[in-house]
Amino acid sequence: MGLFENIHQFEEVFFGIRKHDGYFILDLKFPSHWDYSNYYNKEKIGVKVSKATSEGTVVSFYCGDNSGDVKFLEKEILHIIKINRDKEEKSRLLEVKTKELEELFHTTNLEELKNFTFTSKTPNININGTSKQTNGLVGKGNEERPQGIPDPQEKGN
């Protein structure tokens, strides 16, 4: 892969690249809402925030000036970019699905809504890093109902 392809993989976040005192430094301009602080190996990669504005933050990631460290840095940064892009896409998807659900609730009668269930075509859902098998339906909880809160399924309370 050539220099152009290497830089291009960082797409619109690339800001600059440089070397200084035995360090390889990659400057990236992240949107201000992106998080990176917990997504890289702090023992192998250093970070310095150079400039923060409402439009974005220029973050300098640096490592040793050798092929192995630079490859590791590249891998970690691509991971950070993927995590943040996935979060953005999930946020957009949540907005779309929320609007769809809201429209469904406005256009469907109450009795049909009472029988409404959520299903998923995805048999595995990843929750907090753990993959769980699902049939697409919300399962029964395992916690006891606190005293004083009536069970909505019991009639007459």
Number of domains in the chain: 1
Separation CA 80–CA 30 (nearest Å) = 10
pLDDT tens per residue, range 54-87? 889 999 999 999 999 999 999 999 999 999 999 9
128 assigned to some structural domain: no
44 assigned to some structural domain: yes
How distant, in Å, are the alpha carbons of 25, 26, 87, 100, 114 from that of 65?
Answer: 9, 11, 31, 51, 62
pLDDT tens per residue, range 103-150? 999 999 898 888 888 787 766 666 556 666 555 555 555 555 455 545
Model's pTM, two decimal places? 0.69
41 assigned to some structural domain: yes
31 assigned to some structural domain: yes
51 assigned to some structural domain: yes
25 assigned to some structural domain: yes
Average pLDDT, the chain: 84
Which residue range forms the structural domain that includes residue 68? 3-107
